[in-house]
Amino acid sequence: MKIRTGFGYDVHQLKEGSEFWLGGLQIEHTKGAVGHSDADVLIHVICDALLGAANMRDIGFHFSDTDPKFKGIDSKILLKEVLALIRNEGWEVGNIDSTICLQQPKINPYIPEMKKCLSNVMDIDQGDLSIKATTTEKLGFVGKEEGVAAFATVLITKN
């Protein structure tokens, strides 16, 4: 069995009045993430980590932010495409560990629904997807509520 790991990191600016999509869910908040797609930072880091582990470049290579067909796209669609790409090469998800860095709103109440949503999209067990949340204690752009960041590591396997 072949085993690989991957890492993803992403940041999106927060803006008043924008929709806030995170972990496949629309979260009620006065600010939302800005991006070419729906700007779901959690899905984007998972995509990058999976693509990196499979040595298939990154999310921007496959889904360019200059391509109008991806403008406003639901990031769950991108995640399904990434899973199809890596599975076409014989890879399967072992597990995913992710962390969302956000000062407000508090994310912990949404985590069970995010896990359910994303595990269904990826067709993996919820137990193979870890989602954690933290603040930056009011430090930096996250602490000043100017942006949201996320990190993910993944393990993929091939028989």
Question: Does residue 70 have a known ligand-binding role?
Answer: no
Question: Does residue 10 have a known ligand-binding role?
Answer: yes
Question: Does residue 29 have a known ligand-binding role?
Answer: no
Question: Does residue 66 have a known ligand-binding role?
Answer: yes
80, two tokens: 């399904």
Question: Does residue 59 have a known ligand-binding role?
Answer: yes
Question: Does residue 137 have a known ligand-binding role?
Answer: yes
Question: Does residue 128 have a known ligand-binding role?
Answer: no
Strand order in the sheet with 147-158: 31-33, 2-16, 147-158, 92-101, 129-134
Question: Does residue 157 have a known ligand-binding role?
Answer: no
Question: Does residue 98 have a known ligand-binding role?
Answer: no
Annotated binding site for a divalent metal cation: 10, 12, 44
Annotated binding site: 10-12, 36-37, 44, 58-60, 63-67, 134-137, 141, 144
